[in-house]
Amino acid sequence: GYRSRAAYKLKQLDELEDVLDRGDTVVDLGAAPGGWLEVAAEEVGQNGTVIGVDLQRIKDFDDHDTIETIRGDMTQERTRDRVIDAAGGTVDGAASAADRERASGPADAVISDMAPNMSGEYSLDQARSLHLARQAFETALELLDTGGDFVVKVFEGPDVDAFRADVEEEFQYVRATSPKASRDESSELYLIGKGRLTASVRPGD
């Protein structure tokens, strides 16, 4: 079994849009207790790397030595820098302009299941969820290689369309879905950005 029921959501998302492949480097945001990490480790195999980040401590995995964990707050730049380091990326380390054009992000997939502590007031929880989703998007743009994929949870609400439109600009296409495993939590939506268009340095960066 897995550490969390959430594991089955990631399986469904991966079946739908094939975001996890052999040998991939995957960064998982909001990863505790670690169900998604277990699924990702299975999918990427021995030659892959899985990095999990959470505010909470994530217990060590006896069965998976490809998983590395970081305890930290993804809304803090310090944590984002640690994640980039762990993924082996120097985002502006590409040798030539041609290299930069092609790609230089270290990650093949950035996946985020981050959710706020529930206050019970939906509009507040929804706004916090969207804020976390936007943080995940920023991180994905810093980390993803060209062609890489992005998965992000967000609670449905007023500004989600605008967020989706922003994600659409950076990927070949975006699909929105509510996995069966999460339908009881009816406000949860996952956006899947497939195929990062151009990673790395862009004008103005």
Interacting positions 116-145 with ligand SAM (CB under 6 A): 132
Give the CA-trace dihedral at 121, 73, 18, 7, to 10 degrees. -70
Q: Which of 11, 59, 153, 194 is catalytic?
A: 153
Exactly one of 34, 48, 105, 148 binds ligand SAM (CB under 6 A); that residue is 34
| Residue numbers belonging to the annotated binding site for S-adenosyl-L-methionine | 34, 36, 54, 73, 113
Amino acid type, 60: D
| Residue numbers belonging to the annotated binding site | 34, 36, 54, 73, 113
Tokens of 144: 């993803």
Query: Per rule CB under 6 A, is residue 61 in the interface with ligand SAM?
Result: no
CA-CA distance, 29 to 55, in Å (whole number)? 10
Query: Per rule CB under 6 A, is residue 109 in the interface with ligand SAM?
Result: no
Q: Reply yes or no on whether 153 is catalytic.
A: yes
Active site residues: 153
Residues near ligand SAM (CB under 6 A) are: 3-4, 6-7, 30-36, 53-56, 73-75, 113-115, 132
